[in-house]
Amino acid sequence: MDILTSKENGILTITFNRLEKKNAITAAMYQTIADALQDAETDTAVRAVLFLGQPQIFSAGNDLEDFMKNPPRGSDSPVFQFLHDISHASKPLVAAVSGAAVGVGTTMLLHCDLVYAADNAKFSMPFTQLGLCPEAASSLLLPQLSGYQRAAEKLLLGEAFDAAEAHAMGLVNKVLPADQLLAFAQAQTEKLVALPAASIRASKKLMKADQMAAVDKRMAEEIAQFASMLTAPEAREAMTAFFQKRKPDFSQFS
């Protein structure tokens, strides 16, 4: 299974488990995660959600080959279901990031309540390098979180940054040695489970209330722009270059 899910002691654990493809996310994987998050909303036994990758990598982001073969074609597409469900989750979301977190592997963290990173974690949002634009409301949330200039550097250049910088930006709560990450993230999630569930949900709702409408609006705007750019010549050149293992040439486009 490319996505593993388990429920134990009040925690729904969702694990990226496609190591041979660097945990690149397919439409089927997005659907599995979305279904698990929707189930968690109504399952009173689930009090918190924990996202995990593998020690070597969290996620390489979208599986580009699958994405080009099965581009999202509406709000009910698996990727859009996932983005809606992660941004509207009423229960606390915790992520433990080890290794690379690329594209949506980073932007999804903006919707998590607690994010812990191993000291080997690397984050990147290379949307412009693919001829695309930000997604998951990252064009709104990242400038709010880290300031415009820092967000512009990450979203316009798309270059990787390490766990220490992610912590300084506010994207990550704490950086730990890789061999301590899982135990620490699980312990923090267990703390959430032990607290009154209604208090946790109410506190999260209050903290997010003022920006939910803005997040929904920005996500819709990004989706429309992303869909348009996905079929544009720049994206075709970027994708072709990716599969041909060469550097793309954008000089022909104005």
- Report the relative pairing of strands 122-124 and 161-162 from DSSP bridges: antiparallel
Helix axes 27-42, 78-88, angle to 10 degrees: 30
pLDDT for position 108: 98
Q: Tell me which residue has tokens 């819709």.
A: 220
List 4's β-bridge partners, or say none. 15
Does residue 185 sit within a domain? no
Does residue 148 sit within a domain? yes
pLDDT for position 243: 87
Query: Chain-wide mean pLDDT for the chain?
Result: 96
Kindly report, residue by residue over 47-82, the tens digit of the pLDDT.
Answer: 999 999 999 999 999 998 898 888 887 778 999 999
- Report the relative pairing of strands 11-16 and 57-59 from DSSP bridges: unpaired
pTM to 2 decimal places:
0.96
Per-residue DSSP letter, 108: G
Does residue 239 sit within a domain? no
Q: Over range 183-203, report the average pLDDT.
A: 98
Beta carbons of 26 and 60 less than 8 angstroms apart: no
Beta carbons of 192 and 94 less than 8 angstroms apart: yes
Does residue 32 sit within a domain? yes
Our count of domains for the chain comes to: 1
Kindly report, residue by residue over 113-169, the tens digit of the pLDDT.
Answer: 999 999 999 999 999 999 999 999 999 999 999 999 999 999 999 999 999 999 999
Does residue 47 sit within a domain? yes
Does residue 215 sit within a domain? no
Domain enclosing residue 60, as ranges: 3-176
Does residue 197 sit within a domain? no
| Angle 188-189-195 from CA coordinates, rounded to 5° | 95
In this structure, what CATH number is given to the domain that contains residue 90?
Answer: 3.90.226.10
Per-residue pLDDT at 182 exceeds 90: yes
